[in-house]
């Protein structure tokens, strides 16, 4: 493709994208594909002949952009999927145009990632000296990375070299978390070879938080039984309700017990930037590792997660293996700082940092803090609207920007199974209806409609629309 052709097509693509983005609010939040539309995409053959870029751009707007997930719409409250921050969209194009591998070396992309990671550390008051962090595909990979370091550390303390020996002959390790912990922690533990039984799932308290006294008791029991406590996996914003575990007390406990404290802040970590919520996050800065997801609350286009690890040398010892073909000398040839590929699993690494670099700077500390505070405020307002409706029940006081509630028709009151079935149908109808979009959560066995506020353009009117839509469908059912 010639430079002139690229320029023309890319300009046209950006124009089409800008129109598409501008039109999103007027469209249904979500609409399913027809059977034919699905098949047309899935079963399309790869042609022998090349196709022009113009045709491909036309095709994506006709068949791909025509069926979005819905997260661009201000009344999309599902899961933890925000719209893209537009500075990040521009950055993604610019990064792809460079296409470096940010495994390491003396080139700018490496230093941009260093800056971004340091900024993240500074936002959380996490130490920048001696620590290390890197961008990952998301929160799951960030937690896997942090827990891999925890595993190395716990086994080293008992004289077992997990990198050399694997887990054969190692004592059983244990990781502690509340019943609200994200599934990625269990998946990480399985992938690290500890087995799902290594996860001690402790009952959460009435506010859906991990209880330090229960962790302390479990640690004592495990030690008495010859097991080795490895890590506490705390949540800074659970995926179901946004609850923040008592980090300050947990970090003290972890220090006393010489156990690693990992914090999963994938959804809620950035909640610390809201001055009103900041006290909940006290202690975060003392964690051993933190997983955060700029592709969630900060709206950095997916994928962009990050892991921050207090002991940078230990992280390097967890992952470093440099084959001869990648060995460089600092200050000579391509050699620069120690490579990122020594601190994580990936070798070739994309230039994720540029979109984060754009988004953080485009907002500035003040802009970030205002965005988060506004969403938390909207969540309180939504909770207020729900409380004011006798047919609706608020199932958890929002700690951050997630609101869990349900519709309670008088005839079903007290019948948990019927309420769960009713609210599930309500949710599915709402999703298919296209006026608003919520997903669900299981809150101590109760089926909740769950609204997560992450869209910078969500307004009070959108909250009214969500409540009205819940009532409309609930009554219709
Ligand atoms: C609390 C929490 N942890 C971890 C994850 C997983 O993050 P990712 O989807 O980026 O891998 C999520 C995703 O929603 C989450 O909410």
Which tokens in the block code for residue 468?
């009205």
80 alpha carbon – ligand 1 mean position (Å): 8
Separation of alpha carbons 264 and 266, rounded Å: 6
Residue 113 CB contacts under 8 Å (≥ 6 apart), including other chains: 102, 134, 135, 340, 352, 353
- Please give the pLDDT value at position 321: 96
The 10s digit of each residue's pLDDT in 360-377 is 999 999 999 999 999 999
What is the CATH T-level fold of the domain 94-361, as seen in this structure? 3.40.640
Mean pLDDT per 10-residue section of the chain, whose length is 477 residues: 96 98 98 97 97 97 98 98 98 98 97 98 98 98 99 98 98 98 98 98 97 98 98 98 98 98 98 98 98 98 98 98 93 92 98 98 98 98 98 98 98 97 98 98 96 98 98 98
- The region, left, alpha or beta by phi > 0 then psi within -120 to 50, assigned to residue 37 is alpha
Separation of alpha carbons 299 and 18, rounded Å: 17
By alpha-carbon position, which residue is closest to atom 14 of ligand 1?
80
Buried b (16+ CB within 10 A) or exposed e, 41-64: eeeeeeeeeeeebeeebeeeeeee
For residue 264, the ligand 1 atom closest to its alpha carbon is 3
For residue 142, the ligand 1 atom closest to its alpha carbon is 11
296 alpha carbon – ligand 1 mean position (Å): 8
- Please give the pLDDT value at position 40: 96
- Please give the pLDDT value at position 331: 87
266 alpha carbon – ligand 1 mean position (Å): 5
234 alpha carbon – ligand 1 mean position (Å): 13
- Please give the pLDDT value at position 469: 98
CATH number of 365-476: 3.90.1150.170
For residue 239, the ligand 1 atom closest to its alpha carbon is 16
In terms of Cα–Cα distance, which of 391, 390, 389, 372 is closest to 463?
A: 389
Q: How long a stretch of residues is the chain?
A: 477
Regarding pTM above 0.95, the answer is yes
The 10s digit of each residue's pLDDT in 321-341 is 999 999 999 889 999 899 999
- Please give the pLDDT value at position 48: 98
The Cα-based distances of 61 to 1, 70, 85, 88, 258 in angstroms read 21, 15, 20, 20, 55
Which tokens in the block code for residue 211?
């209880």
The Cα-based distances of 245 to 147, 174, 186, 250 in angstroms read 18, 19, 17, 8
The dihedral built from the CA positions of residue 201, 80, 404 and 31, taken in this order, carries a sign that is negative
Tell me 76's DSSP state. B
- Per the prediction, the chain carries an average pLDDT of 98
By alpha-carbon position, which residue is closest to atom 16 of ligand 1?
239
For residue 305, the ligand 1 atom closest to its alpha carbon is 10
Which residues have any ligand 1 atom within 6 Å of their CB? 80, 138-140, 182, 184, 235, 237-239, 264, 266-267, 293, 305
Question: Which of 79, 139, 268, 402, when mutated, tests ligand 1's pocket best, judged by the most ligand atoms within 8 Å of its CB?
Answer: 139
Question: Which of 144, 185, 262, 267, when mutated, tests ligand 1's pocket best, judged by the most ligand atoms within 8 Å of its CB?
Answer: 267
By alpha-carbon position, which residue is closest to atom 8 of ligand 1?
139
20 alpha carbon – ligand 1 mean position (Å): 28
Residue 31 CB contacts under 8 Å (≥ 6 apart), including other chains: 67, 434
- Please give the pLDDT value at position 330: 86
CA atoms within 13 Å, Cβ hemisphere of 258: 8
- Say if strands 305-309 and 289-292 run parallel, antiparallel, or are unpaired: antiparallel
């Amino acid at each position: 493709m010639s430079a002139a052709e690229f320029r023309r097509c890319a300009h046209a693509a950006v124009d089409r994208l800008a129109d598409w983005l501008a039109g999103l609010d007027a469209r249904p939040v979500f609409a399913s594909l027809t059977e034919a539309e699905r098949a047309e995409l899935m079963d399309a053959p790869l042609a022998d002949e090349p196709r022009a870029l113009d045709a491909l751009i036309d095709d994506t707007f006709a068949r791909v952009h025509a069926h979005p997930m819905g997260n661009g719409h201000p009344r999309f409250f599902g899961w933890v999927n925000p719209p893209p921050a537009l500075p990040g969209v521009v950055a993604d194009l610019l990064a792809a145009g460079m296409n470096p591998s940010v495994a390491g070396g003396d080139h700018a992309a490496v230093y941009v990632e260093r800056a971004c990671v340091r900024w993240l550390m500074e936002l959380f008051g996490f130490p920048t000296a001696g620590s290390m962090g890197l961008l990952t595909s998301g929160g799951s990979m960030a937690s896997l990375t942090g827990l891999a370091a925890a595993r190395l550390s716990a086994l080293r303390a008992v004289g077992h070299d997990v990198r050399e020996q694997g887990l054969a002959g190692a004592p059983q390790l244990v990781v502690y978390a509340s019943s609200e912990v994200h599934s990625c922690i269990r998946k990480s533990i399985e992938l690290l070879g500890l087995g799902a039984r290594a996860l001690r799932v402790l009952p959460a308290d009435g506010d859906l938080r991990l209880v330090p006294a229960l962790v302390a008791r479990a640690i004592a029991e495990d030690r008495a039984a010859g097991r080795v406590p490895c890590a506490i996996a705390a949540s800074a914003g659970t995926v179901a309700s946004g609850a923040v575990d008592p980090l300050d007390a947990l970090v003290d406990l972890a220090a006393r017990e010489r156990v690693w404290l990992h914090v999963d802040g994938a959804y809620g970590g950035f909640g610390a930037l809201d001055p009103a919520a900041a006290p909940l996050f006290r202690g975060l800065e003392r964690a051993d590792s933190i997983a955060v997801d700029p592709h969630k609350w900060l709206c950095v286009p997916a994928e962009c997660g990050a892991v921050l690890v207090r002991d940078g040398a230990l992280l390097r010892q967890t992952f470093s293996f440099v084959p001869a073909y990648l060995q460089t000398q600092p200050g000579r040839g391509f050699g620069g700082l120690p490579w990122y590929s020594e601190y994580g699993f990936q070798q070739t690494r994309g230039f994720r940092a540029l979109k984060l670099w754009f988004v953080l700077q485009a907002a500035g500390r003040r802009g970030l803090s205002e965005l988060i505070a506004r969403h938390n405020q909207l969540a309180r307002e939504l909770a207020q609207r729900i409380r004011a409706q006798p047919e609706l029940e608020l199932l958890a006081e929002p700690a951050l920007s997630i609101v869990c509630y349900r519709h309670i028709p008088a005839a079903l009151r007290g019948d948990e199974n019927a309420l769960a079935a009713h609210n599930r149908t309500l949710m599915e109808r709402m999703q298919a209806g296209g006026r608003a979009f919520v997903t669900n959560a299981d809150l101590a066995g109760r089926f909740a409609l769950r609204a997560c506020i992450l869209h910078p353009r969500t307004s009070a009117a959108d909250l009214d629309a969500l409540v009205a839509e819940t009532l409309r469908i609930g009554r219709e059912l």
